[in-house]
């Protein structure tokens, strides 16, 4: 059994334990406090980040609808750690992860940690126009204080953890015990917060499958009208019962006379 297969099997068995409510009942630790404050320059933010750039648009409203659903399921604290992934690349994961995190952070009470777990093609900091170099990969490969990598933004109560400097062994880092421990610790230290994780696509890369069995729930982004049904089914069976799929978000781009129209639909597989 390879290291990655072992990690998957271990995470799957622990997931069963967690479902019985045993895991995470460790002694509650204090939340990490970061002194790093960063302000977001709207002129550098990618135009797909509608919750920030066009908050009164219908597109931003669609994210608020998804937020309402997430906040209602997150009340009991067992559904607060979400992985945003997709079958193949370019379906809109990062756009959705950022918009969702901002949308939750814009609500009065909720604090959010947005984590970029796409160590191969990190785009969270670029799409937010942030000049942040160090991040998750540096924490996983070196002895670095975790709180030094967290950036508190000026968007509501949104903190960002970037992917960090590109490592040569991304799958090993994501499948490492240090990563698993970190996610559990994040969840226990941030038990009153929402954690949104951006990740690579499921089918070509194993990382999201590993992460999927550690998080509370997965939101699968599907590019409507583009991604073949068989590909989506393949991704769903790849996840299998190792993880909980909260829903499928159909990311669609409709061309209208005024230009491109963002449309997000949310559906539930069960
Ligand atoms: N609904 C949408 N309408 C128009 N453009 C979109 C929409 N969603 C995403 N995009 C654009 O499509 C491109 C890919 O989106 P994004 O980077 O979010 O996808 P991804 O799934 O994270 O990609 P990757 O697999 O490379 O990480 C980006 O340029 C983004 O701005
Ligand atoms: Mg991405």
Which residues does residue 153 pair with via DSSP β-bridges, in sequence order? 38
- Distance from residue 45's CA to the centre of ligand 2 (Å): 15
What is the rounded distance in angstroms from the CA atom of residue 5 to the CA atom of residue 210? Answer: 9
Average pLDDT over residues 250-261: 58
What is the rounded distance in angstroms from the CA atom of residue 186 to the CA atom of residue 73? Answer: 19
| Most distant CA atoms of the chain, gap in Å | 57
Q: Is the CB of 201 under 6 A from ligand 1?
A: yes
- State phi, psi for 73 to the nearest 5 degrees: -80, -20
Q: Is the CB of 253 under 6 A from ligand 1?
A: yes
Contact in structure between 124 and 95 (CB atoms under 8 Å): no
Average pLDDT over residues 231-257: 81
Supply the Cα-derived Rg of the chain in whole angstroms.
17
What is the rounded distance in angstroms from the CA atom of residue 114 to the CA atom of residue 105? Answer: 10
Nearest to 121 by CA among 204, 64, 25: 204
Q: What percent of the chain has pLDDT over 90?
A: 58
Which residues does residue 109 pair with via DSSP β-bridges, in sequence order? none
3-class SS of residue 233: helix
What is the rounded distance in angstroms from the CA atom of residue 220 to the CA atom of residue 153? Answer: 26
Ligand approaching nearest to the C-alpha of 123: 2
Pick the residue with more confidence: 58 or 242? 58
Cα 130-131-135 angle, rounded to 5 deg: 95
Name the residue of 89, 92, 102 whose CB sits within 8 Å of the most ligand 1 atoms, as the mutation to test its pocket: 92
Average pLDDT over residues 186-201: 89
What is the rounded distance in angstroms from the CA atom of residue 73 to the CA atom of residue 266? Answer: 15
Name which residue sits closest to atom 11 of ligand 1, judged by CA: 92
Q: Is the CB of 62 under 6 A from ligand 1?
A: no
pLDDT of residue 264: 57
Q: Is the CB of 118 under 6 A from ligand 1?
A: yes
Contact in structure between 107 and 114 (CB atoms under 8 Å): no
Ligand approaching nearest to the C-alpha of 250: 1
Q: Is the CB of 53 under 6 A from ligand 1?
A: no
Name which residue sits closest to atom 10 of ligand 1, judged by CA: 92
User: How many other CB atoms sit within 10 Å of the CB of residue 259?
Assistant: 6
- Closest atom of ligand 1 to CA, residue 264: 1
Instruction: Render pLDDT for 15-73 as a digit per residue (tens, 0 to 9).
Output: 444 433 333 333 346 777 777 899 999 999 999 999 999 999 998 999 999 999 888 87
Nearest to 1 by CA among 12, 46, 119: 12
Q: Which CATH number fits domain 3-22+49-267: 3.20.20.190, 1.10.3210.10, 2.70.98.60, 3.40.50.300?
A: 3.40.50.300
Instruction: Render pLDDT for 141-170 as a digit per residue (tens, 0 to 9).
Output: 998 999 999 999 999 999 999 999 999 999
Nearest to 86 by CA among 235, 191, 242, 262: 235
Nearest to 192 by CA among 69, 109, 107, 115: 109
What's this model's pTM, rounded to 2 decimal places? Answer: 0.85
- Distance from residue 90's CA to the centre of ligand 1 (Å): 5
Q: Is the CB of 122 under 6 A from ligand 1?
A: no
- Distance from residue 223's CA to the centre of ligand 1 (Å): 9
- Closest atom of ligand 1 to CA, residue 252: 1
């Amino acid at each position: 059994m390879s290291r990655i297969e072992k990690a998957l099997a271990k995470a799957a068995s622990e997931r069963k334990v967690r479902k019985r409510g045993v895991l995470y009942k460790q002694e509650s630790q204090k939340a990490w406090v970061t002194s790093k404050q960063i302000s977001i320059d709207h002129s550098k933010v990618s135009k797909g980040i509608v919750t920030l750039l066009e908050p009164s648009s219908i597109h931003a409203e669609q994210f608020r609808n998804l937020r309402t659903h997430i906040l209602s399921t997150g009340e009991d604290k067992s559904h607060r750690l979400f992985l945003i992934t997709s079958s193949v690349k370019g379906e809109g994961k990062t756009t959705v992860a950022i918009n969702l995190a901002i949308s939750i952070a814009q609500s009065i009470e909720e604090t959010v940690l947005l984590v970029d777990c796409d160590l191969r093609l990190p785009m969270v900091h670029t799409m937010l126009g942030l000049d942040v170099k160090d991040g998750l990969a540096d924490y996983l490969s070196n002895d670095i204080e975790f709180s030094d990598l967290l950036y508190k933004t000026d968007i509501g109560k949104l903190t960002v953890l970037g992917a960090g400097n590109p490592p040569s062994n991304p799958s090993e880092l994501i499948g490492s015990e240090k990563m698993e421990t970190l996610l559990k610790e994040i969840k226990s230290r941030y038990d009153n917060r929402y954690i949104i994780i951006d990740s690579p696509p499921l089918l070509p890369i194993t990382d999201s499958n590993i992460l999927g069995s550690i998080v509370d729930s997965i939101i699968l982004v599907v590019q409507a009208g583009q991604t073949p049904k068989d590909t989506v089914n393949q991704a769903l069976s790849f996840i299998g019962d190792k993880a909980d799929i909260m829903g499928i978000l159909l990311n669609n781009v409709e061309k209208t006379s005024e230009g491109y129209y963002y449309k997000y639909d949310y559906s539930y597989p069960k």
